[in-house]
Amino acid sequence: MNRHHVIAGISAPDRRLMAAGGLIALGLFALPLFGSALVVDKLTLLMVYIILAVMWNLLAGYAGLVSVGQQAFIGLGGYFVLRLVESGMPPFLAIGLGGFLVLLAAWPLSWLVLRLKPAEFAVAMWVLAETIRSIVMFDPLVQGETGRSLVSLNAIDPDVRRTTIYLMAVVAVVVSLVLSHALLRGRLGGESQAIRDDEEAASSVGVSTLRVKRWIFLISAVGCAIAGTIWLASAITFQPRSAFGINWSIFMLFMVLVGGLGSYLGPVLGALLFFALQEVFGDFGAWYLAGIGVVAILFALFAPRGIMGLIIGKTGQEPLSMRKLLIMREG
Amino acid sequence: MFDGVLQALLQGGLLGGYYAIIAAGLSLMVGVVRFINLAHGDMAVLGAMVTITLTEVGGVPVLWSIMIMLPAMALMGWVMHATLFQRAMRGGFLLPILVTIGLGAALQNGMFGLWGSNTRSLGASIGELSWASWILPGGIILGKLPVLIFVTAVVVIGALHLMLKKTKLGRAIRATASDPEAAEMCGVSSRQAHRAAAAIAVTLAALAGVFLAMRGQVTPYSGPAQLIFAFEAVVIGGIGSLGGTLIGGMVLGVSQSLGGLISPQGSLLAGHLVFVSVLIWRLSRDWARDHGGWRASLAISAIKLRRRLTGGAPAPDRAPSSKGAA
Amino acid sequence: MMTRLIVENLTCRHGLLTAVRDVSFALRAGEVLCVIGANGAGKTTLMNAIAGTHRPVGGRIALDGVDVTAQPAFARVRSGIAMSPEGRRLFADMTVRENLLIAAENGRAGDWTLARVLQAFPQLRPLTDMPAGRLSGGQRQAAAIGRALLTNPVVLLLDEVSLGLSPAAVEGVYQSLAMIKEARTTTMVVVEQDLTRALGFADQVLCMAEGQTELQGMPGHLSREQITDAYFGIHDKELSDV
Ligand SMILES: Nc1ncnc2c1ncn2[C@@H]1O[C@H](COP(=O)(O)OP(=O)(O)OP(=O)(O)O)[C@@H](O)[C@H]1O
Ligand SMILES: [Mg+2]
């Protein structure tokens, strides 16, 4: 008999969770068959929130990169789609290509910002988002603060449009969840875990922290861009001030912080909660947004690991944890 | 044309005074407490709102309103550090960002709830100061208010510099910035020093907010833009140097007003681009320094690039040993 | 004479590692304790715990009968405990004068003034306007001790007095310390690697190994052999096994 260490596989409760997730996804795909237009629209927004939360969590929770400038990519994604559509591309194709163009833009940016200290990175991203907004405003197509509508989308039958956008949103959520699961369970996840635990030690055993961070930064940029394009497609009008608004960052931060920074399911939980809060209290407008800020402060100070942290505290383990556990096998 | 540029240079430089005041507070926090308060711009707007309310609703003369508002804001900065920031700082770099961005959201929207969305200004309360100007030879117009703001900036930054150099509190703040534990060993409470710095920073922000409202208009959502300008001025001038902050503010102001000559939107963009250029320049300089100087590092990059292009056998990956020897 | 400093069952940890375990001693006013021990024995951790920059997990520290265990470092300075720390920890970009001034302004009132410190450490006199970061090792040590003295402590903690100094510089520092000792008002705890020096200067010695007290007593009552054995952490039991 010899003993060796292996990386623990996926546990039974986690398997059940994943199966449940699959069922929910199927249900979401089927929803347009019986859901009302309003429900479909609302759920599209929820999907956008989930994508954003998952992407922000990849950045902050797994790569230690706290950005308050992800709206740069949300807005840029929307702008590219607008540009492509105006130059004659079919809208739904443009939505896909928009993400790719943002990848091309994010790559040179990553060279710049990833070399900054963590706190400087946060603000520098914000400044970059503003810079990109100022550049976009130069395009006469955008019509300054007024913004511009995706006119050709209006030409499509509203029901078809709504359903297509919704289905794209569900696909994007499924892809981002599956992809980040695969990534975090794979080599990148192990490396980012090592960096998160001890950056110096990780780089001393040959993990290129810059490479890992760059990958996650780029993935998150593309994810935010896709969320931005879907949001634009359902909101129709591209307005630089809202597309590049700091509110996006506040929402992302709220969802991830409240749900559970650095956990796999936390951001999904956070997005659901944020969506629900928005539905219930959204009518209070500014006071509601002020409340979001206060809740974020309270969580940051008193429960920095969010709801998921509280669950872990109770049950002793994290559902669908991405942490790799070494277990002893005999055989 | 030439006159226009000269006018823009002058106005931009004076505008830099405003940026320097708001940036000085941010710079103090970053340099001394190693804490970036993302709600710094919102503090400025709050200061402006309080002053406007005291003046317009309370009927208090402007100067008196400012005199009442500034100590109140200082107290608020002190309390905020003692309650929020200090606790957030225990959680590494992450929590301060989360807490202060949440604070910003709470302040902006809270102010919106209290004061509504109308743009507000102190311009009407300061009489002719808001439009009076001197005409210089050559038709150059020099506004009295911009000059006042600039002079205030120089005085404030000079005073801050003297305070840090010559007073007990200033030395305690600098000692804490350099080594908080060693400062404690000399009897300095690093917490008190941090709180004092936070109080000064918020006061400076609030003073800048007053000038902002005198020069033009503020809304509850003007804060983030002010934070960004302040951050740009700090980075352009070099983090941790007060003199640099004044220069950084002026560079930002001049680039904005020159950009404004090109197009109305060009103003903000020019400022942002100068910031990005300074960042790129600084990062590449550091990168080159870490790789044995400009010449050596460029040579290494060239070799690596050639190798990648030709796909040739990897040669031993060694930097030339002496600086700039390649 | 009353007991000035009492350290009782002090235990300190760095994470899981117990760096100081159950250390106790008592010193009267003006008494000098030398702490000796191999690298990593826990001397610095002990000093930091007394100064208040390291929070102990057990035991207590009392100054003139007042329990100061819960006081933060700056409050202890104001109560009268000052330290010249390992690595000197001067404020590198401030001048020597400013370094000294900070201690004078924030510490206690007393006999030690800037002028008197410059008299005790004449080598600092031409350097007062130089940034502390540009001093040599010996000058730094003088400035660090001067800085601690300027808070007018009743208990002076000196970590690694002679580390990295030339024999002449060590001699200079000890001459100044001897002056302070003669006055018999300032209690001193000194970490010293040089056994001869430590035994010559101290009223009491405390020898640590792996965080524990190996040997404690007055130099005159301890044999050189006992001390070397303790220094290397050789226990009686192990000796009898040999
Ligand atoms: N900041 C720290 N974090 C973790 N462990 C520490 C820390 N400082 C000291 N230690 C450990 O505590 C033990 C005691 O260290 P300490 O510095 O007190 O020893 P010392 O007797 O002063 O040694 P030296 O003679 O080398 O100065 C050592 O094992 C050291 O590794
Ligand atoms: Mg030591």
pLDDT single digits (tens) C206-215: 999 888 888 8
Same domain, B205 and B99: yes
**Helix, strand and coil in chain B, % to nearest 5:** 75, 5, 20
- Mark whether B194 and B233 lie in a shared domain: yes
> Subunits touching B (CB < 8 Å, at least 3 pairs)?
A, C
Please give the pLDDT value at position B293: 75
Evaluate if residue C80 carries a pLDDT over 60: yes
Mean pLDDT of C111-126: 90
Place of tokens 């690991």: A305
Sign of the Cα torsion B234, B235, B240, B241 reads negative
Cβ distance B185 to C77 less than 8 Å, yes or no, reads yes
Among B171, B185, B191, B241, pick the best mutation site for testing chain C contact (most C Cβ within 10 A).
B185
pLDDT, tens digit (0-9, with 9 covering 90-100), for B206-254: 999 999 999 989 999 999 999 999 999 999 998 778 889 999 999 999 9
What is the predicted pLDDT for the residue at A330?
57
Q: Are residues B257 and B280 in the same domain?
A: no
State pLDDT tens for residues A197-211.
Answer: 777 777 777 677 788
Residues B162, B284 within the same domain: no
Q: What is the pLDDT of residue C234?
A: 62
Interface of B with C (CB under 8 A): 168, 171-172, 174-175, 178-179, 181-190
| Residue C62 reports pLDDT greater than 60 | yes
Does the C-beta of C37 come closer than 6 Å to ligand 1? yes
- Chain B residues with beta carbon closer than 8 angstroms to that of C147: 186
B87: in domain: yes
The residue range of the domain holding C7 is: 3-241
Q: What is the pLDDT of residue A3?
A: 64
Most confident of A145-159, B218-232, B305-319: B218-232
Helix (H) or strand (E) segment spanning residue C22: strand C17-28
Q: What is the DSSP letter of B218?
A: B
pLDDT greater than 90 at residue B262: no
Q: Which of A70, A71, A134 to mutate: most B Cβ within 10 Å? A: A134
Supply the range of the domain harboring residue B302: 268-312
Q: How many domains does chain C have?
A: 1
pLDDT confidence bin for C221, thresholds 50/70/90: confident
Which among B25, B153, B18, B164 is positioned nearest to B81, based on CA atoms?
B25
Whether residue A112 and residue B283 make contact (CB cut-off 8 A), yes or no, is yes
Residues B37-45: what's their mean pLDDT? Answer: 95
- Model confidence band, residue C233 (pLDDT cutoffs 50, 70, 90): low
Number of domains into which chain B is organized: 2
Q: How confident is the model at residue A329 (pLDDT cuts 50, 70, 90)?
A: low
pLDDT band of residue B316 (cuts 50, 70, 90) is very low
Task: Determine the residue of C11, C23, C45 to mutate for testing ligand 1's pocket, defined as the one with the most ligand atoms within 8 A of the Cβ atom.
Answer: C45
Please tell me which of the candidates C52, C93, C103 has its beta carbon nearest to residue B186.
C103
* pLDDT at residue A324 in the model: 58
In a domain, B231, yes or no: yes
Of C53, C75, C94, the CB nearest to B181: C53
**Structural domain contains residue B326:** no
Q: Is the per-residue pLDDT at B320 higher than 70?
A: no
Number of structural domains in chain A: 1
H-assigned helices in chain C: 43-51, 73-79, 96-106, 114-120, 137-150, 167-183, 195-201, 224-231, 236-241
**Of A100 and B137, more confident:** A100
Considering chain A, what percentage of its residues have pLDDT values greater than 90? Answer: 34
Task: Give mean pLDDT, residues A290-296.
Answer: 92
Edge-first strand listing for the sheet containing C155-158: C81-84, C155-158, C187-191, C32-37, C204-209, C212-217
Question: Does residue B144 register a pLDDT over 60?
Answer: yes
Asked if residue B234 lies in contact with residue B30, where contact means CB atoms within 8 angstroms, the answer is yes
Q: What is the mean pLDDT of residues A291-315?
A: 89
Candidates A198, A297, A299, partner chain B, best to mutate (most B CBs within 10 A): A297
- How much is the pLDDT for A323? 67
Going by C-alpha positions, the residue among B20, B76, B18, B1 that lies closest to residue B46 is B76
Range with lowest mean pLDDT among A31-40, A157-166, B23-32, B292-301 = B292-301
By C-alpha distance, the chain C residue nearest B188 is C74
pLDDT band at residue B149 under the 50/70/90 scheme? very high
- Separation in Å, CA B309 to CA B301, B312, B318: 12, 8, 19
Over residues C152-170, mean pLDDT = 88
Residue B183 belongs to some domain of the structure = yes
CA gap C39, C232 in Å, rounded: 10
Greatest mean pLDDT among A187-191, B68-72, C206-210, C220-224: B68-72
pLDDT given for residue A328 in this prediction: 56
Nearest residue in chain A measured CA to CA from B263:
A138
Q: Which residue has the higher pLDDT, C54 or A16?
A: C54
Percent of chain B with pLDDT over 70: 94
Q: How far is the CA of C26 from the centre of ligand 1 (A)?
A: 23
Q: Give the H/E segment covering residue C90.
A: none
* Across B107-136, average pLDDT: 86
B90 and B199, same domain (yes or no):
yes
- Report chain C's mean pLDDT, rounded to a whole number: 88
Is B317 contained in some domain? no
For residue A122, the chain B residues in CB contact (below 8 A) are 36, 38, 97
> Chain B to chain C, count of Cβ pairs less than 8 Å apart?
71
Instruction: Determine the distance in angstroms separating the CA of A103 from the nearest CA of chain B, rounded to an integer.
Output: 20
Determine contact: A255 vs chain B, CB below 8 A.
no
Q: Which residues of B touch A293 (CB under 8 A)?
A: 101-107, 109
Amino acid (one-letter) located at A331: G
Tell me: do B178 and B294 sit in the same domain: no
Pocket probe mutation, ligand 1, options C23, C34, C39, C44, max atoms within 8 Å of Cβ: C44
Task: Indicate if ligand 1 lies below 6 Å from the C-beta of C87.
Answer: no
Average pLDDT of the residues in C181-191: 91
B62 and B38 fall within a common domain = yes
Residue closest to A258 by CA, chosen among A275, A245, A274, A280: A274
Contact B178, B32 (CB under 8 A): no
CATH number where C204 lies: 3.40.50.300
Domain co-membership, B282 together with B253: no
HSE toward the beta carbon, residue C166, CA cutoff 13 A: 5
In-domain check, residue B254: yes
> Smallest Cβ distance to B97: which of A68, A254, A286?
A68
**pLDDT of A327:** 57
Contact A3, A329 (CB under 8 A): yes
- Host domain of residue A281: 3-330
Q: Which ligand is nearest to the CA of C159?
A: 2
B323 pLDDT above the threshold of 80: no
> For residue C138, is pLDDT > 90?
no
Q: What is the mean pLDDT of chain A?
A: 85
Q: Is the pLDDT of residue B138 over 80?
A: no
Distance, CA of C189 to CA of A76 (rounded, Å): 64
For residues B240 and B299, state if they share a domain: no
Q: Determine which residue's CA is closest to atom 22 belonging to ligand 1.
A: C44
Q: What pLDDT score does A156 carry?
A: 77
Contacts across the A-B interface (CB distance below 8 Å): 138
Does one domain contain both B24 and B79? yes
Ligand 2 (ion): residues with CB under 5 Å are C 44, 86
Tell whether B78 is covered by a domain: yes
Q: Mean pLDDT over residues C174-197, rounded?
A: 89
Residues 123-162 of A with CB under 8 A from B: 123-124, 126-128, 130-131, 134-135, 137-138, 144
CATH of the domain at A32: 1.10.3470
